[in-house]
Structure 1
Amino acid sequence: MTTTGTTTDDDERPVALSEPVDDPFTTLPDLTPLRDAARAGDWPATQAFFTALASTENPVENPVENSAEKVSFASAQLAGLDGVETYLERAAAEHPADPLPRTLLAERYIRIGWAIRSRYRAEHVSRDQFEQFHDWLRRAERLLIDVCAEQPDNPAAWTARLLTARGLQLGQTEARRRYDRLSAHHPHHFRAQSQLLQQMCPKWSGSWEAAHAFAQECVAAAPAGAHAGVVVAEAHIEHWADLDGVEQRTYMRSVSVRDELRAAARESVLHPDYAPGWSWITADSAFALAFSIGGHFADAAAHFVSLEDRVTEYQWQYLPGWKAAFVKYRKSALATL
């Protein structure tokens, strides 16, 4: 990979910066056993991976590094691997009393459906795409209804049902009901907060008032050092992406947005109590992007220093040629140090 710049570690030794890497199985080595199990179609190894996560003694009071967050995060990453539905379907058939293979299979079905639908707005999605999309989501929903009845505290299943609620257009009230069922057992669950935020955006029949209010609600309710502050950054990124022309160019540059981002970063990834879990790359990626598109490069610098070459495409995909944009913005941010 091409070297594009340097930063320093705690010993002030130069650290080479290369092209951004967005593969979670590369940037988060702890996930390697899950990837290997999936590639081998090895259900016992997959089950052992999730069993180990669920049994980890991490108190709920730790808002970042708890087992529910890890299980939900890992479920989403597994769902992104092509072809895993084959061995997950087999596992679900062979272990009908076990909710885990059904939960993971539902996550995969959802990912397949969304890939068919694409990221485009509804007016650019064909009727055939919508029919296939809804068919995959209904398959997932049927699995998840049973799982949530059997395990009302299942974080991955309830979070997945936020995606099916959105895709099947079940409405704001139903989506919020599902989120509340999850948060009753797992408050401040970042992946669920991020998914409900999408539901509250105007593109899914919400409003910017509701989206920003929810983001602030998450921060106000969460302990300092939780990922909830990232939802504020994601809300502003979504708002910015929905604008055109002069409004888009000026939105992130406003002092009010900059100050909200600063406050959210201080309460989350920059807080002394922040203990990076598996979502830390997503978190710093969001703040790095939000500050950069606003031209607040000094604020973005700390997040780029943390990320080095790592990034999540999830937020950055709004920029054409996003990897080149990441390198460009990183260079500008690090030049402020």
Structure 2
Amino acid sequence: MSSTAPPIRAQFDPCVIIPSLADLRAAVHEHDWASVEAYFDFLDHEDDRAVAAEIFRHLGLAERFLERIVAERPSSALARTLLAIRYIGVGWGIRGAYRAKHVSRKRFEEFHEWLRRAERLLIDVCAEHPTYALAWATRLTTARGLELGQGEARRRYERLAEHHPHHISGQMQLLQHLCPKWGGSWGEAEAFARACLDSAPPGSHAGRLVAQFHLERWLGDTNYGHSDYLRPTAVRDDILAAAARSVGHPDYRPGFHWVGDHNDFAGALCLGGHHREAAPFFRTLGDKATELPWKYTGDKGIQFLKHRKTALAKG
């Protein structure tokens, strides 16, 4: 037998990173709606429900199961919202991650049709359940994909924030919408990220919005890897200050977002060459990774491991 150690790999599967999500995924594969419903009932925080719901976006053919459940339980807000999330996943898979100028008219038409299917479900859910966070947060995604404009996106966010003022998934969706690539501006995006952090309680997830803003600004200046935007010490210190008020605060509640939080901070620092400062985030993460921001500069697994190795050697 070879004594060679197995290769180190980055772990991207959310159902491995958050083991209980594997039970949720298994319930979908087994068409066990009672277990799906019980899983969401068990979660006691809207931020965690948003992460759990996100796996439906990528579950192939889950729409068939969910369509049957919606037909059987037409009043279920959860079933309709999860089906809408799956429709969005199908649509975005057709569109791809390319900038609009690289997407064909046919793909856009198919993409928009899937999003309109999702939107019709979500409109009814929000009308019947005006405080239902998962549906309002999901409507921020459809607003962006259907290009409904900044005013409509902000209106939807305000409806969400009225009852769930620090909903990080909704905040991340609106931040995307406020970036220039979706019709916004850097000033609007930065102001929103900072306002979310300033108004949030200490130890919130909102610090990652500052890291995400800087990553988006870097992307806007670069052809994936040739910008110095993240290098200045002022940007580094801003990211570290946001982390100190978020993941570094004693009141931080990790929840299901903790892996994304730490990856955003580690990535924003590493892509600016600040590997020593990124080391603590990698020590917390171990092998747990998220696609973004690592895939911005190449193979996501290789990039995560390369930057982690450099950071741990320096810090």
Deviations 1:43-81 (A, max 9, x none): 11111111222xx3xxxxxxxxxx211212211122221
| Distance change in 2, residues 1:83/1:247 (3 Å) | closer
Give 1:99 shift.
1.2
Cα drift, residue 314 of structure 1: 3.1
| Corresponding residue number in structure 2 for 1:183 | 161
Q: Does 1:159 align with 2:149?
A: no
Amino acid at match of 2:107: Q
Deviations along 1:20-57, one digit per CA (max 9) or x if unpaired, are: 1111001111212101101112111111111222xx3x
Matched, 1:236 2:214: yes
Alpha-carbon offset, residue 178 of structure 1: 0.4
- The DSSP-based 3-state class of the residue aligned with 1:269 is coil
Structure-to-structure mapping, 1:1-337, within 5 angstroms: 18-53=8-43, 56=44, 67-244=45-222, 248-337=226-315
CA deviations on 1:80-110 (whole Å, 9 max, x unpaired) are: 2111111000000000111111010001001
CA distance in 1, matches of 2:240, 2:171: 20
Distance 2:294 2:15 in 1: 18
Q: Which amino acid aligns with 1:220?
A: D
User: Using the alignment, how far apart are the partners of 1:211 and 1:282 within structure 2?
Assistant: 19
Deviation per residue, 1:264-285 (Å, 9 max, x gap): 0001011111121101001101
Distance 2:99 2:41 in 1: 38
Task: Check whether the contact 1:229–1:265 (CA below 8 A) recurs between aligned residues.
Answer: yes
Q: Name the stretch that deviates more: 169-178 or 234-243.
A: 234-243
Query: What's the CA shift string for 1:314-337, capped at 9, x where partnerless?
Result: 332212122111111101110123
Instruction: Kindly report structure 1 stretches of 4+ aligned residues shifted beyond 4 Å.
Output: 1-4, 245-248
Is contact 1:301–1:334 with CA below 8 Å preserved after alignment? yes
1:59 corresponding residue in structure 2: none
- For this pair of structures, how many residues does the alignment match? 312
Contact 1:158 1:179 in 2 (8 A): yes
Equivalent-residue separation in structure 1 for 2:224 and 2:92 (angstroms): 31
Paired with 2:177 and 2:234, the residues of 1 have a C-alpha distance of 24
Secondary structure in 2 matching 1:210: helix
Cα offsets for 1:169-224 (capped at 9, x unmatched): 10001001101100111111110111000000000000111111111011100011
CA shift in 2, pair 1:140/1:245, >3 Å: closer
For 1:255 and 1:318, the matched residues in 2 are separated by 22
- Decide whether aligned partners of structure 1 residues 143 and 210 sit closer, same or farther in structure 2, where only a CA change above 3 A counts: same
Which sections of structure 1, spanning at least 5 residues, go unmatched?
5-17, 57-66
TM-score (norm 1): 0.90
- 133-142 or 250-259, which deviates more: 250-259
Offset from partner CA, 1:119-140 (integer Å, 9 cap, x none): 0001100001000000000000
Q: Contact 2:48–2:256 at 8 Å: present in 1 too? A: yes
Whole-Å separation in 1 of the counterparts to 2:5 and 2:83: 38
Query: Relative to structure 1, is the Cα distance of residues 20 and 43 closer, same or farther in structure 2, using a 3 angstrom cutoff?
Result: same
Q: For 2:227, what is the secondary structure of its paired residue? A: helix
- Identity percentage of aligned residues: 49
Distance in 1 between the 2:39 and 2:50 partners? 13
Specify the code of the residue in structure 1 equivalent to 2:307: Y
> Are 2:225 and 2:297, in contact at CA under 8 Å, matched by a contact in 1?
no
Please say if residues 51 and 257 of structure 2, whose CA atoms lie closer than 8 Å, have aligned partners that are also in contact.
yes
Unaligned runs of 5+ in 2: none
Name the TM-score, length of structure 2 as normaliser: 0.96
Structure 1 CA distance, aligned partners of 2:159 and 2:180? 23
SS of corresponding position for 2:147: coil
Q: Residue 228 of structure 2 aligns to a residue in which SS? A: helix
TM-superposed CA distance for 1:248, in Å, is 4.4
